[in-house]
Amino acid sequence: MRNFKKISLYFLLFLLITNSYADDKNKVFAVENSVVKIHTTFVTPDYLSPWQLSNPLQSSGSGTVISGNRILTNAHVVADAKYIQVQKHNDPNKYIAQVSFISHYADLAILTVKDKSFFKDLTALAIGVLPEPQQDVTVYGYPFGGETLSITQGVLSRVEQQFYSHANSYLLAGQIDAAINPGNSGGPVVVNNKIVGVVMQAISAGVASNVGYFIPPSIIQHVLHDSKDGKYDGFPELGFRTQPLENPSAKAAYGLTKKQNGVLIVKVFENSASMGKLKKNDVILKIDQYDIANNGTVNFSKNLRSHYDHAIELHYIGDKINVTYVRDGKVSTTTLIAQKNENHYSLVGQQKYDNIPEYYIYGGIVFIPLTRNILNSWGIPQVNAGTFRFLNYSREWPSVNKQQSVIALQVLAADVNFGYHEINSWVVDFINGKPIKNFLQFCRLLKNNQEKYMVFENKQGYQIILDHKKAMNSEKDILKLYRIPAIHSVGLFDKK
């Protein structure tokens, strides 16, 4: 009888272990079954010849099925896409997909599939919570070099604000040591069968080994919330810039006690949420309930300290944000309304995707606004050689009277522009003596000009002078000679 009880006990234990193992296998299978491969055919604009497109190219990435028959992936996986297909694990078939919502700023996109049968037997993964440092994580995806699902493991190393390379945005990111390669982009970082991150970028080999970054749950949830009405709002901006206030003398000079900590406002932008409420030389002590350290960081949890920007990006457009500050030694609190982050407050326009480049051709001279797209098109060698000066514009702050920089990109050689054929990447600051506010104002001045000569001038006083009548009469011949479809980009004058 005793032996029978022993055998029964062992058998029960065996069943428990077997069932537990089977449950684990089922859970792993469910995760594998939710990760898809994304095939993208994309066409990027040619910013050096803004009236035409580059050649079509193919790339691939990864994505995860989430609730509502949706696929979560990176924005850069489907940026400038003309044709998208998705493929299930262990399925040779490809299904047509479309982008239903995209946030280039957060490098996230949501896809839908036309054929709803695609989602049959697929498991939608839930969004989990940010893991603790040193916690094990699993990365799923389809890196280059193979057709089947790849699974790698690593450890969460740290969490802090990082620059997202896709749009040069500055948001919270997690760092892991799992192997991440091209094609992994958009794949899930998983803990306990929940998505705790979306793989977005890795540090190049030779710079660091096995250092990759993922988009954390707070950013994912923000984008999912933003997508509910189908209208992109993005992350908020309060419209000020600060510097650390670590020096004791600097703290004392701005009225802080030894126990008070914060950051010094060095700029408040016109027409921003902070205009009229905060001033230059105010010291910000708190954003909502988060105390700001002298180095600009705040504690979000026991194990998470990051830049105070994260306290702002947790909000949605239109939210109220309380800011506690010191002015002339007096502590005050004001409430700001979170506004859209439209232009990064820089004279260099932010990186754009799924967009037609703006241009205007006058007298054979191609004029464009200065953007990160054109800086990237030039590439590092050329920037170092001849256009390095434009990088300084990204550090210059705009004003009401100066919102964009305009450059003469190149000259399409013709009789009307003789003598200027060698000019390229030339900044234009004035047109017929009038300062340039932005590209649209510049183009309207060109289009509506009534003066005999058109004078383009930079800050150094150098000029390009064209006969207006000859410039207008040369338009058709120049377009025909260089096979250009239109004198300016489509929809240029549709803006308000």
Three-state secondary structure call for residue 225: helix
Q: How far apart are CA 272 and CA 120, in angstroms?
A: 48
Tokens of 84: 């998208």
**Catalytic residue among 39, 60, 107, 346, which?**
107
Torsion angle of C-alpha atoms 319, 270, 345, 186, degrees rounded to 10: 10
Q: How many CB atoms within 10 Å of residue 97? A: 26
Q: How far apart are CA 149 and CA 11, in angstroms?
A: 36
Q: How far apart are CA 237 and CA 389, in angstroms?
A: 28
Q: Which residues lie below 8 Å from residue 55, measured CB to CB, with a gap of 6+?
A: 43
**Catalytic residue among 150, 185, 227, 272, which?**
185
**Catalytic residue among 34, 39, 59, 76, which?**
76
Q: How far apart are CA 315 and CA 309, in angstroms?
A: 11
Question: Catalytic residue at 166?
Answer: no
Across-strand partners of 202? 212
Across-strand partners of 366? 361, 410
Asked if residue 383 lies in contact with residue 419, where contact means CB atoms within 8 angstroms, the answer is no
Backbone angles phi, psi at 121, to 5 degrees: 70, 5
Asked if residue 54 lies in contact with residue 69, where contact means CB atoms within 8 angstroms, the answer is no
Q: How far apart are CA 178 and CA 391, in angstroms?
A: 34
Q: How far apart are CA 93 and CA 107, in angstroms?
A: 27
Shortest CA distance to 67 belongs to which of 29, 27, 112, 105? 112
Strands (E), 292-400: 297-301, 304-307, 320-327, 330-337, 339-340, 360-362, 365-369
Shortest CA distance to 495 belongs to which of 390, 404, 379? 404
Phi-psi region of 255 (alpha: psi -120 to 50; beta: other; left: phi over 0): left
Q: How far apart are CA 469 and CA 371, in angstroms?
A: 30
Three-state secondary structure call for residue 113: strand
Q: DSSP of 254-280, one letter per residue? A: TT--TT---EEEEEE-TTSTTBTTB-T
Question: Catalytic residue at 107?
Answer: yes
Count of positions (residues) in the chain:
496
Q: How far apart are CA 339 and CA 341, in angstroms?
A: 6
Question: Catalytic residue at 477?
Answer: no
Q: Which residues lie below 8 Å from residue 23, measured CB to CB, with a gap of 6+?
A: none
Known catalytic residues are 76, 107, 185
